[in-house]
Amino acid sequence: MYHDGSCLVDFSLFDVLPREKAEWCLAEIQQTLADNCLRIVEYTLAGGEVGVIDENAGPAGELWFEGRIKPMHTLVDGERAVLWLASNISQRHHLEARLRQLSETDELTGLCNRRRFMQILGQQLTDYVPETADIALLIVDIDHFKPINDQYGHLDGDLIIKTLTAVCAAELDTNALFARLGGEEFAIVLTDTTPGAALRIAERLRQAVAASRFELECATVVPVTISIGASVVRPYRRRINELLRDADIALYEAKSQGRNRVVMARDPDPASRRA
């Protein structure tokens, strides 16, 4: 306990808290009284936000609290009141955030992993409105990666993957969703783009990788190229498995045509289009 709270007696929420936070607390109290049952909320609070205490009396920075708000059965000064019990849950919150990050992030590259990528892409497709947005998917695969891994080892293979991640990230807009699907395969989702613009971005990525220097721990420089399969969402073709399958087929074509190239998926046969 950082202090006993005696200095807060006779002050209102608006006397000791920033207005926005005081209004939030008041709304939670009113909701608890309206529901007439225990409510549990989580919120942040820093010493500097409480106007009448010494902000240096407790830990520095923003802390996370769990508030258990319970309506009291007796009136206080003739009015209904609540008991608000606050517990510091900062350690638990940071641990949960770390576990969530680990479950959603590729450890080697720091990119979204396949699980998180599928979640985000699925939501983007759910929200897709043909009249206002365009979505393109790029599946990126490192050419001849297995021989490099076999010859130089997995540590150097990891180095190539990390270098390629940095090269591609430097060429992408911050709004692009960049993920590692596994092994040497990556995925990029581009929003608010046209098929032509998506192809130009893919070609820029291909050229940037081909022009980059991939130096291994032994100082050997190896040539690295990528093949890219691209697909775009259509009003009649907007399921996640369709988008992925189309991009995979285009990637296979890029590989079969000699690698180090970009191929856009063909528009499906009009007869297969859904209304």
Domain extent listing, the chain: 6-99, 105-272
Q: Tell me the β-bridge partners of 123.
A: none
Rounded (10°) CA dihedral 12, 17, 23, 26: -50
Same fold yes or no, 6-99 and 105-272 = no
- pLDDT score for 273: 47
Are 188 and 172 spatial neighbours (Cβ–Cβ below 8 Å)? yes
pLDDT tens digits for range 233-249 = 987 777 899 999 999 99
8: closest CA among 86, 70, 61? 86
185-214 residue pLDDT tens: 999 999 988 889 999 999 999 999 999 999
| Per-residue pLDDT, 57 | 61
Q: Is 184 labeled as catalytic in the residue annotation?
A: yes
Fold of the CATH domain 6-99: Beta-Lactamase (3.30.450)
Angstrom distance (rounded) from CA 54 to CA 76: 29
pLDDT in the model for residue 192: 85
- Residue 165 has a CB neighbour count (10 Å cut-off) of 18
Task: Report the pLDDT value the prediction gives residue 34, as an integer from 0 to 100.
Answer: 95
Q: What span, in angstroms and rounded, lies between the C-alpha atoms of 66 and 268?
A: 53
Residue 15 CB partners (closer than 8 Å, separation 6+):
51, 52
- Nearest Cα residue to 254 out of 222, 227, 224: 227
CA 56/CA 229 separation, integer angstroms: 56
Q: How many CB atoms lie within 10 A of CB 11?
A: 13
Nearest of 30, 53, 28 to residue 40 by alpha carbon: 28
CATH superfamily of 105-272: Reverse transcriptase/Diguanylate cyclase domain (3.30.70.270)
Kindly give the confidence (pLDDT) of every residue in the chain, 275 residues in length, as a single tens digit, with 9 standing for 90 and above.
Answer: 455 666 677 788 888 889 999 999 999 999 999 999 999 999 998 877 776 666 566 566 788 999 999 999 999 889 999 999 989 988 888 888 777 777 789 999 999 999 999 999 999 988 888 776 689 999 999 999 999 889 999 999 999 999 999 999 999 998 899 999 999 999 999 998 888 999 999 999 999 999 999 999 889 999 999 999 999 998 777 789 999 999 999 999 999 999 999 999 987 655 544 43
> What pLDDT shows up at residue 61?
74
Instruction: Kindly name the residue from 55, 62, 79, 184 that is annotated as catalytic.
Output: 184
For residue 58, the model assigns a pLDDT of: 58
Taking the complete model, does pTM exceed 0.85, yes or no? no
